[in-house]
Amino acid sequence: MPFGAHMSISGGVSKAFARGTQVDCEAMQIFSKNERQWNAKPIPPEEVAAFKAEQARTGIGPVIVHDSYLINLAAPADDLWEKSIAAFSHELERCDLLGIPYLVTHPGAHTGSGEDVGLEREAVALNRIFEAGIGGQTVVLLETTAGQGSALGYRFEHLARLFELVPYHDRMAVCVDTCHIFAAGYDIRDAASYAATFAEFDRLVGIERIKCFHLNDSQKGLGSRVDRHNHIGQGCIGLEAFRLLVNDPRFTGIPMIIETPKGEAMDEDRENLSLLRSLVGKASPTV
């Protein structure tokens, strides 16, 4: 599996590759813009060229983009919903410009309208975007969530419903976050629970739709519905789940990205990625 981490784009999107090489990324996730702002300046042609040159130089790939945290395609209020559709369309256009294969997004929050209404609202937005052909071939990855607040996507049934409502299956797949599914109530801490959870995912959604993993331990317990990431093996999930995951032949070739806490020197990224690699081929977890 290609392992990697979320990298800063400070100074320009092309700068992420140098940072990725510092922690031995094989794959990488970035934001294509400031994730806390609605608007962004266009990426200049010279920066697009630098991005592609740096990717060729480093060999890091795939590069995955995560969208802005402000976007809510399930919003019941028309003003926020339309603003979110415009912003998400812009994110897809930026991905297409950079040659990014996947754009990760949380499936929105219903903010009181109810889960069924929220999922339908999300689907209408995605159908509108895909029907217009926005983003070229970039595939939207619906990320599993912890279910904090009114967030959608914390049940596999939510993802299944979106695939029912959105027929553009060539433009949509799934990113599984280990912290999120655990906090949502799906246990993966031993072989039996791991097998049961992914059997349920396969039954409802289809295992073949998983195109990316976010590998994060959880600060909070099973079913807490609190989204707090922790270092690999240092949270409530523990090492065994990650050993099972990185040795699962069904996920060979699927990028596995950490989003664990780190400082400016990124030592934590090196340690977490090294630990994950050490679990590959192991019969039991070792630190």
Active site (catalytic) residues: 36, 66, 69, 106, 143, 177, 180, 214, 227, 229, 259
Q: Is 6 annotated as a binding residue?
A: no
Contacts of residue 91, defined as CB under 8 A and 6 or more positions apart, other chains included, come to 32, 33, 65, 67, 68, 71, 103
Q: Is 143 annotated as a binding residue?
A: yes
259, 214 Cβ separation under 8 angstroms: yes
Q: How far apart are CA 67 and CA 32, in angstroms?
A: 8
Q: Is 106 annotated as a binding residue?
A: yes
Q: Is 24 annotated as a binding residue?
A: no
Name beta bridge partners: 258.
5, 215
Q: Is 90 annotated as a binding residue?
A: no
Q: Is 66 annotated as a binding residue?
A: yes
278, 85 Cβ separation under 8 angstroms: no
Contacts of residue 33, defined as CB under 8 A and 6 or more positions apart, other chains included, come to 40, 68, 91, 94
Question: Phi-psi bin for 135: left (phi > 0), alpha (psi -120 to 50), beta?
Answer: left
218, 237 Cβ separation under 8 angstroms: yes
Q: Is 202 annotated as a binding residue?
A: no
3-state secondary structure of 171: helix
147, 111 Cβ separation under 8 angstroms: no
Cis peptide before 2 (omega within 30 of 0): no
How many helices (DSSP H) and strands (DSSP E) are in the chain?
9, 10
Q: Is 177 annotated as a binding residue?
A: yes
The binding site for Zn(2+) comprises: 66, 106, 143, 177, 180, 214, 227, 229, 259
